[in-house]
Amino acid sequence: MSNEYRHILVAVDLTKDSHKVLERAVQIAERNQNAKLSIMHTLEPLGFAYGGDIPMDLTSIQDQLDEHAKQRLAEIADPHVAKENQHVVVGMPDTEIHRFAEENGVDLIVVGSHGRHGFALLLGSTSTGVLHGAQCDVLAVRVGKKGESAE
């Protein structure tokens, strides 16, 4: 296979659909001489969520969110992704996914897609941002549709 993947990044939102996205990536890794798997979740900074105008220190809350995200990511990743390849970062999701991919030699990014209506909603805002800025292949795994079985 001339187009083998060596490093696959699975970007997840920590919902139950994340398992399906990871399973698809595991299948691809197995078909590519057990390509390296990394998994990541991006937390948006709390200041962004509230417009940045909160007159209090959000550090402890952000730290709690970070710790919870790391625990949830570990639950999703186990047993497929080694602890050192599990990453929770703070920032804008598409930007952080692109940065990680470029800095770590990722040649395939796998994301979930909700497949709603119209092109703008086809992938979701994060998936669309990842697709348009990626320097490598991107696979959008359809998730969230009722009655759909995992392949």
Of residues 66 and 146, more confidently modeled: 66
- Give the residues across from 39 on adjacent strands: 10, 86
CATH code linked to domain 92-145: 3.40.50.620
Q: Write the pLDDT tens digit of every residue in 26-59.
A: 999 999 998 999 999 999 887 655 555 656 677 8
Exposure string over 12-36, b if 16+ CB within 10 A, otherwise e: bbbeebbbbbbebbbebbeebeebb
Burial class (CB in 10 A: 0-12, 13-18, 19+), 59: exposed
Return the domain boundaries, the chain.
Answer: 34-91, 92-145
Q: Per the structure block, which two tokens stand in for 43?
A: 């937390």
pTM beyond 0.85: no
